[in-house]
């Protein structure tokens, strides 16, 4: 599945740049509200991995890892996704 490729590439980018999940989260959370929403994820993947995700893929990704159902990715949920 393409969203898994994006996740895989995101993990690799994180390792190559020696970033922690917290560093990555801060970069993705553009408005600083402590949650990553769809547009933030979309832009983040594009700028970090250079990969375009479709909006469907972004929403699938969020649905797969959104444990508390707020339709946003919290740092604990991102950690889960990347572990």
- C-beta closer to Ca ion: residue 37 or 57: 37
CA nearest neighbour of 51 among 12, 79, 24, 25: 12
CB of 10 to Ca ion, least distance (A): 17
Taking the complex as a whole, the smallest distance from the CB of residue 58 to Ca ion amounts, in Å, to 14
DSSP 47-74: HHH--PPPHHHHHHHHHHH-SSSSSSB-
CB 45 within 8 A of CB 10: yes
Q: Where does this chain bind Ca ion (CB under 5 A)?
A: 29, 31, 33, 66, 68, 70, 74
Minimum CB separation from Ca ion for residue 72, in Å?
A: 5
Nearer Cβ to Ca ion (18/68): 68
């Amino acid at each position: 599945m393409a969203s898994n490729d994006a996740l895989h590439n995101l993990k690799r980018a994180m390792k190559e740049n020696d970033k922690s999940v917290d560093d990555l989260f801060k970069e993705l959370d553009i408005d600083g509200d402590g949650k990553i929403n769809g547009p933030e994820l979309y832009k983040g993947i594009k700028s970090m991995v250079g990969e375009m995700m479709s909006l469907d893929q972004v929403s699938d990704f969020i649905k797969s890892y959104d444990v508390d159902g707020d339709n946003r990715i919290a740092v604990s949920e991102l950690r889960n996704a990347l572990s």
